[in-house]
Structure 1
Amino acid sequence: MDVLRTWGFRLFFYGVSVVLVLCVPIAALFGTRFLRAYSNVWARLLQWSVRTIIGARLRIEGTVPEGQVLFAGKHESYFEALELTRMLGSPATVMKRELTRIPLWGWAAQRYGTIVVDRSANAAALRSMMREAGKARASGRSVLIFPEGTRVPPGASPPLRSGFAGLYRALDLPVVPVAVKSGHVWPRKGLMHKGEIVFRFGAPIPAGLPRREIEARVHAAINALNG
């Protein structure tokens, strides 16, 4: 059944996704707001596909706060990368530069208003990320970052990347940690499985804390569902 579910999902979701991505230039003609609404259609398609074809349920714990914040999330699968942007009202998402090189999709992501980060983490790359984050803050948008840097298997809890502390300091916004349990349903490699995906929104952590304290509190909170 996992084989049938996985291939059914891949054929349907990725097949429709190709059409949606090809139509992105048309959507972009109607402005950034329309483009963000258009991306939510893609996220809803993903949610429907995971629920209906794979048989996975989404459970949300905690409360999504109102107002402008820095969301820091666990990253175990592609599901939260799309679903959180829809659920959180199209925040400016911190995205790896490699993804901007994907033809058409990368261009659309930049038009959407992402914050591009270079994995080299050199001074110039960090300054560029801070400038883009400042623009997002000035526009009133929240920011979403996956501070461990990439998708990790269930149970793994690598240290936070250095860019998170700089972003936290530059934005001067409270942090809302988001623990995610999704890798058991959609692993990085192999078949997908029926099950329950969980998003847990933690209590806001105030701005202005020392680096060691904010990193320790966020790391513990986003890994609260491990094990």
Structure 2
Amino acid sequence: MRYAIALFRSILFWMLFGLMSALCSIGAVVALPVSHRATQWFVHMWARFHRFITRFVLGQRVIVEGAMPDSPLLYVFKHEGAFETIDQPLLFKWPAVFAKEELFSIPVWGQAAHLYGLIPVDRDGGGKAMRAMLNAARAALEKGRPLVLFAEGTRVPHGLAPPLRSGFAGVYRLLGVPVIPVAVNSGLVYPPRRWVKWPGTITYRVGETIPAGLPRAEAEHRVWRAINALNPPEALERSE
């Protein structure tokens, strides 16, 4: 019975979310000639509607432990599901999120993401792609936008703690800005690559700010431990 209820809720959720995603993506693209703020408005409406239906259709609550300043810093999030990627416009006014290059090829949505100011990450593009990514990140920082990086590179089921991708070290060293790590346990109720979602609580736990300029190994270890703070302790013990 529990599974049947969750399945029904999930089907309704995906229907509503798919419809709203299409409407907001089209609106964001069409609105750009009128105003860039209008494009941002559509993106925020999309994220707000997603949060609304996760709450009242799926039965999920969100808790934020700690403060996330809306400042030009580098945020590194744990990545357990699509939830925290969609939720970014509710956490910050205008975040610059590092996103996989292939996402920008999605019809309409990809164009809307580009217009909003997401930063493409081309892992196979070599030095030229890296320079373009860093230039886009620096431009975002100059505008006062926080940078958001999912340093594990892909969605990770709850309880797993893989090492950070090597790209984090390059971004951290070359941008020279402090890092705020954020743990997320969305995978418990919003599991990756699963259609069925579950009621429950999603927690963001903000870690201590990590200053710029630390040795690579120390910075990576501090970020890794902080973003996995909501995992079971044995998960960290197995991974270290």
Q: TM-score range by the shorter chain?
A: over 0.9
Deviation at 1:29, TM superposition (A): 2.0
- What amino acid is aligned across from residue 151 of structure 1 in structure 2? R
CA distance in 1, matches of 2:225, 2:87: 22
Q: Which residue of 2 aligns with 1:123?
A: 127
**Contact conserved, 1:133 with 1:167, CA < 8 A, in 2?**
no
Structure 2 unmatched ranges of 5 or more: 233-240
Q: Which residue of 2 aligns with 1:195?
A: 200
Deviation at 1:121, TM superposition (A): 6.2
Deviation at 1:117, TM superposition (A): 0.6
Tell which deviates more after alignment, 19-28 or 39-48.
19-28
**Contact conserved, 1:97 with 1:117, CA < 8 A, in 2?**
yes
Tell which deviates more after alignment, 75-84 or 17-26.
17-26
Q: How does 1:102-117 map to 2 (within 5 A)?
A: 102-117=106-121
Q: Which residue of 2 aligns with 1:15?
A: 19
- What amino acid is aligned across from residue 219 of structure 1 in structure 2? W
CA RMSD of aligned residues (A): 1.4
**Contact conserved, 1:126 with 1:163, CA < 8 A, in 2?**
no
Residue 226 (1) aligns with residue 227 (2):
no
Question: What SS is found at the alignment partner of 1:207?
Answer: coil
CA distance in 2, matches of 1:94, 1:131: 12
Q: Structure 2 vs 1, CA of residues 66 and 94 (structure 1 numbering), >3 Å: closer, same or farther?
A: closer
CA distance in 2, matches of 1:112, 1:61: 28
Q: How does 1:1-227 map to 2 (within 5 A)?
A: 1-120=5-124, 122-188=126-192, 189-227=194-232
Superimposed CA distance per residue, residues 41-73 of structure 1 (whole angstroms, 9 cap, x where no aligned partner): 100000000000000110110112253211100
- What amino acid is aligned across from residue 185 of structure 1 in structure 2? V
Structure 1 unmatched ranges of 5 or more: none
Superimposed CA distance per residue, residues 140-192 of structure 1 (whole angstroms, 9 cap, x where no aligned partner): 21100000011111111111111111111222111110100101211122411
Question: What SS is found at the alignment partner of 1:154?
Answer: coil
Moved over 4 A (4+): none
CA distance in 1, matches of 2:8, 2:153: 31
Deviation at 1:93, TM superposition (A): 0.5
- What amino acid is aligned across from residue 77 of structure 1 in structure 2? G
Task: Give the % identical residues.
Answer: 42
**Contact conserved, 2:185 with 2:230, CA < 8 A, in 1?**
yes
Structure 2-normalised TM-score? 0.90
Tell which deviates more after alignment, 195-204 or 57-66.
57-66
Structure 1-normalised TM-score? 0.95
**Contact conserved, 2:158 with 2:185, CA < 8 A, in 1?**
yes
**Contact conserved, 1:71 with 1:143, CA < 8 A, in 2?**
yes
How many correspondences in the alignment? 227
Tell which deviates more after alignment, 25-34 or 160-169.
25-34
Q: Which residue of 1 aligns with 2:235?
A: none
Q: Structure 2 vs 1, CA of residues 152 and 121 (structure 1 numbering), >3 Å: closer, same or farther?
A: farther
CA distance in 1, matches of 2:125, 2:14: 34
**Contact conserved, 2:75 with 2:181, CA < 8 A, in 1?**
yes
CA distance in 2, matches of 1:67, 1:132: 16
